[in-house]
Amino acid sequence: MDVYPALTSMQVAFSRLRRPWDNVHFTSLHGRSTGSLASQILPYHRICLLTGGANTPRAIAERLLQEGISGYRIWVFEDIGEADETITEGNLEEISRSDFSEMSLLVFEREESAPSHIPFGLTETEIVHSRGLITKDEVRAAVLHSLRLPATGVFWDIGAGSGSISLEASRLCPNLDIRTVETNPLQLENIRANLQRFGPGSITLVEGTAPEACDGLPAPDRVFVGGSGGRLDEILRTCTTCLEPGGRIVITAVTESTERRAPTILLEYGLQVSSSRITVERKHWTSRGEETTKLNPISLIAGTK
């Protein structure tokens, strides 16, 4: 038996562009649910997408614009290898205004002027928030570590505030279904501003007061409770009841009441409980010398089902 391997459409496309393809991320959207498109694009300098069905080049460009993506040059290869092969170059706005063949392939290349995607490490100065009401950088890192986020599944971020935990979780785990629950109008405004700035990724904003706002949401694999509005008992009872086997809940406790009550409720529902206390001291050096800022201590309480 003789084997005659054929060229792939990706190989042909990059030969047309006279660019190497060995470091290109390739994925197919043919007949598949896309989830967050931004999360599939942002981590890569170059990416090749196979389109198909409802995922046409135009629809993909429109979705990415809605998700706040920019800074990419795009080539659309129609009917590649055929006599009527066509190559169209443009940005997302230009591609979103045109129709293309069902047999199309997309190549994305990040423009040199576009900022590189940082999957983890957003700072308080970058995230829109009010009056310092944000999970501080060092604490956010510890929370995400304690959550042990899965690659897929459902994550509830309750009392999300500015949405900083959701934003970082979405960038770290682009295929994680994140439900961001918040009721405060000002905080909701901040979350929307952050979603506009960084793209929604896999985040779905849920407006309402927990735990009632969680009714009808898919059962969580992970839960973070950053704010309870004085309803810690009800929220934790709802979360522990809905939590999938092997799931994990993390609570940040600033007050002694929360630090004392949260472990008791988690234990009542049979979770394994642990806690740690974080004290942060920041130092900056300027022409005036050393400046020190001490943040209020905070406890992380974790329960595993």
CATH of residue 95's domain is 3.30.950.10
Q: Which domain holds residue 180?
A: 137-304
Give pLDDT, residue 37: 77
Q: Are residues 282 and 178 in the same domain?
A: yes
The region of weakest confidence among 28-32, 159-163, 193-197 is 28-32
Amino acid 71: pLDDT: 86
Distance between CA 297 and CA 305 in Å, rounded?
27
What pLDDT sits at residue 116?
66
Query: Residue 1 has what pLDDT?
Result: 94
Shared domain for 99 and 181, answered yes or no, is: no
pLDDT at 40: 76
182 with 287, same domain: the answer is yes
Q: Looking at the 3D structure of the chain, how many domains does it have? A: 2
Whether residue 236 lies inside any domain: the answer is: yes
Domain of 292, CATH number, reads 3.40.50.150
For residue 155, which of 277, 249, 19 has the smallest C-alpha distance?
Answer: 249
Predicted confidence at residue 288, as pLDDT, reads 87
pLDDT of residue 59: 92
Structural domain contains residue 224:
yes
pLDDT at position 122 is: 92
Residue 116 inside a domain? The answer is: no
Measure the CA–CA gap between 266 and 228, rounded to whole angstroms.
15
The mean per-residue pLDDT over the stretch 217-222 comes to 98
Give the end of a domain, one of 110, 126, 147: 110
Position 46 in a domain: yes
Greater confidence, 221 or 67? 221
130 lies in some domain: no
* pLDDT confidence of residue 34: 59
**Residue 135's beta-bridge partner residues?**
none
144 lies in the same domain as 242: yes
CA distances from 223 to 63, 150, 169, 227, 283 (A): 28, 12, 12, 12, 32
Same domain, 160 and 212: yes
**Model confidence over 17-64: pLDDT tens digits?**
999 988 899 988 876 665 667 777 878 889 999 998 888 999 999 988
Segments in 18-160 forming alpha helices (H)? 37-41, 57-66, 92-95, 137-147
Q: Is the pLDDT reported for residue 198 higher than 90?
A: no
Tell me the average pLDDT across 207-230: 96
215 phi/psi in degrees, rounded to 5: -60, 130
Q: In which band, very low, low, confident or very high, does the pLDDT at 250 lie, cut at 50, 70 and 90?
A: very high
Predicted confidence (pLDDT) at residue 251 exceeds the cutoff of 70: yes
Whether 196 shows a pLDDT value over 90: the answer reads no
> pTM for this one?
0.81
Average predicted confidence (pLDDT) for the chain: 92
For residues 76 and 187, state if they share a domain.
Answer: no
Query: Are 103 and 240 members of one domain?
Result: no
Average pLDDT over residues 199-214: 92
**Sign of the alpha-carbon torsion through 232, 123, 297, 187:** negative
Look at residue 138 in the predicted model and tell me its pLDDT. 97
* Residue 161, domain member (yes or no): yes
- 63-110: pLDDT as tens digits: 888 877 888 999 999 999 899 999 999 999 999 999 999 889 999 998
**Model pLDDT for residues 103-160, shown as the tens digit of each residue:** 899 999 988 776 667 789 999 999 999 988 899 999 999 999 999 999 999 999 999 9
Mean pLDDT on 268-283: 96
pLDDT of residue 214: 97
Token pair of 164 as six digits: 């900083």
What is the gyration radius of the CA atoms in the chain, in angstroms?
23
Is 83 among the domain residues?
A: yes
Asked if pLDDT for residue 222 goes beyond 90, the answer is yes
Mean pLDDT of 159-169: 96
